[in-house]
Structure 1
Amino acid sequence: MTRKIALITGASRGLGRNAALHLAAAGVDIIGTYRSQADEAHVVAAEIEQHGGRAVMLPLDVANSASFDAFVEQVRAALRDSFGREHFDFLVNNAGIGIHAAFADTTEDQFDQLMNIQLKGPFFLTQKLLPVIADGGRILNVSSGLTRFSLPGYAAYAAMKGAMEVLTRYQAKELGARGIGVNILAPGAIETDFGGGLVRDNAEVNQQIASNTALGRVGLPDDIGGAITTLLSEGGRWINGQRVEASGGMFL
């Protein structure tokens, strides 16, 4: 049976790294991207290969849409040279940043940075990659629990993620003719270095979130890597056009 291939943006660290390792453990080969942390990316690839999988890491700045044509050619070359394939099966639009700023204080530069990375980037990257996504494949975008509940300081960030949720439904509708399913995963608060590691490193913040979560703790990267793997499994094939929140039941 031919192994599936997943392309994961932002695979050198955080949730992208965790997703790559979880998918690889489930028998999926990986094409990962990194912006600047080449060494960390290659450590992830080496770990996957040590366990019998295959992985290729490619540089990509999701904020620079002018680079996407060249990136697609790199993906084509990686598919041909490393996997003997012309198409990959799963696209995980994971790469992102967090900016904490009150609505009244958010600058245009901050807004534009978030838009380029969280909305424009995945919009046009997915568009450019359509010819190399296999018919019957799947796209998984990444949102945030902050589109359902509102915490001060995340107006611009959450607005971009909300737009991605709308885009997901349109992608599912328009790509269905090719058998491509599209969903969006919305993690709750997770213990990573995202946003400066606030949730992970600030005990007061961590406890406050845990006390407002039905399962009584803050999320861990493995919770999200497992959710991504589940949604991309054969058992998740009939889930389409959906926002799936993985938050342990925050603010229910």
Structure 2
Amino acid sequence: MSETNKDQIAVVTGASRGIGAAIASRLAADGFTVGIHYGRDTDAADATVAAIEDAGGKAFAFRADLAAGTAAEDFWASFDKAAAGAGVIGQSLKVLVNNAGVTLRGAIEDFSREDFLAQQAVNVNAPYFIVKEALPRLADGGRIVNISSGVTRIAFPEIIGYALTKGAIDAFTLTLAKHLGPRGITVNAVAPGVVDTDINASWLRGNQDAIDGVSASTALGRVGQPEDIASIVAFLASDDGRWVTGQTVDATGGTNL
């Protein structure tokens, strides 16, 4: 367990499972105390915290509904309460990872207004306002990492609404990096391709044809794993990533090159 980031907090949204949990575990291994945000699944969040603690790290969980109109205010109020309970009040907030998101399917002709607005609320509005409320807390020299998607480069008409939200995240990343540069805060995005997580389980896991198809489309010849994405986030969150900002890092394994 690294001591490099001792007494510094990293917050990861949507961290109870999948990519978010892998990011949280990696940042904890790198010495951060990690705030595990979750939306609904308390058991999964508690399991992520327990796994981090079993490995010698520090973490605590807190809940907030990112679809709510007061998502950012609720988010940080819940964080403060959980941090106090975990005895980490006063530690510096060094890293914020905006990972939480929803993927709703449908071509433009079929995608309802209600679904579009619900997806926009979680994928775009929540990160924007969570960052806005975080800025007085975030240490100079801190890190913001936004999870984007390879769908901003590779066209998938069946998730057009999702692609639009991730394009917004890329633009947000670039502009925010310019704004926060004077404080030494880096802002970057990471764009995964297909990753073996619960969100893809219904069509990927146990489906060898799907696995072979995804693997064949990547230069590196396999399906991505959550730890692949976590490693990139960890680099951007580290001191080694200090001279990288305003970038969207393609983390698709070379899909559709």
Do Structure 1 and Structure 2 share a fold, with TM-score over 0.5?
yes
CA distance in 2, matches of 1:138, 1:248: 24
**Secondary structure, aligned partner of 1:185:** strand
How has the CA–CA distance of structure 1 residues 216 and 52 changed in structure 2, closer, same or farther, with 3 Å as cutoff? Answer: same
1:150-180 Cα deviation digits (max 9, x unpaired)? 0230111001100110011111011112211
Corresponding position of 2:243: 238
Q: Deviations over 1:28-55 (max 9, x none)?
A: 2100111111111011111111222211
Partner of 1:30: 34
Alpha-carbon contact 1:190-1:200 (below 8 Å) kept = no
User: Residue 45 of structure 1 aligns with which residue?
Assistant: 49
- Give the C-alpha shift of residue 74 in structure 1: 3.2
Q: Which moved more, 1:136-145 or 1:96-105?
A: 96-105
How many aligned residue pairs are there?
252
Kindly indicate whether residue 114 of structure 2 is the aligned counterpart of residue 129 of structure 1. no
Q: Deviations over 1:124-153 (max 9, x none)?
A: 111111111111101000110000010230
Indicate whether 1:228 and 2:233 are aligned.
yes
Matched residue, 2:104:
99
User: What percentage of aligned pairs have identical amino acids?
Assistant: 38
Partner residue, 1:85 = 90
TM-score (norm 1): 0.94
Unaligned ranges ≥5, structure 1: none
> Contact 2:63 / 2:78 at 8 angstroms: preserved in 1?
no
Question: 1:15 corresponds to which residue?
Answer: 19
Aligned residue type for 1:9: T
Q: Which residue of 2 aligns with 1:190?
A: 195
Matched, 1:75 2:79: yes
Counterpart of 1:248 (choices 247, 250, 253) is 253
SS in 1 for 2:10: strand
Q: Is the 8 A contact 1:98 1:195 kept in 2?
A: no
CA distance in 1, matches of 2:113, 2:207: 29
Q: Partner letter of residue 47 of structure 2?
A: V
Contact kept? 1:76, 1:132, Cα under 8 Å: no
Q: In structure 2, the residue corresponding to 1:83 is in which secondary structure?
A: coil
User: Is this contact kept in 1: 2:143–2:236, CA < 8 A?
Assistant: no
Long gaps (5+) in structure 2: none
> Does structure 1 retain, via aligned residues, the 8 Å contact 2:8–2:92?
no
Contact 1:7 1:31 in 2 (8 A): yes
1:76 Cα offset (Å)? 3.3
**1:80: Cα distance to partner?**
4.9
Given that residues 7 and 91 in structure 2 are in contact (C-alpha distance below 8 angstroms), is that contact kept between their aligned partners in structure 1? no
Question: Hey, what does 2:58 align to over in structure 1?
Answer: 54
- Asked whether 1:165 is paired with 2:137, we answer no
Partners of 2:115 and 2:254 lie apart in 1 by 30
Tell whether the 8 Å contact from 1:76 to 1:86 is kept in structure 2 after alignment: no
Q: Residues of 2 paired with 1:112 and 1:25: CA distance?
A: 37
Distance in 1 between residues matched to 2:90 and 2:158, nearest whole Å:
44
Judge conservation of contact 1:172–1:240 (CA < 8 Å) in 2: yes
Match of 1:146 in 2: 151
User: How far, CA to CA, are the matches of 1:109 and 1:195 in structure 2?
Assistant: 23
In 1, Cα distance between equivalents of 2:201 and 2:227: 19
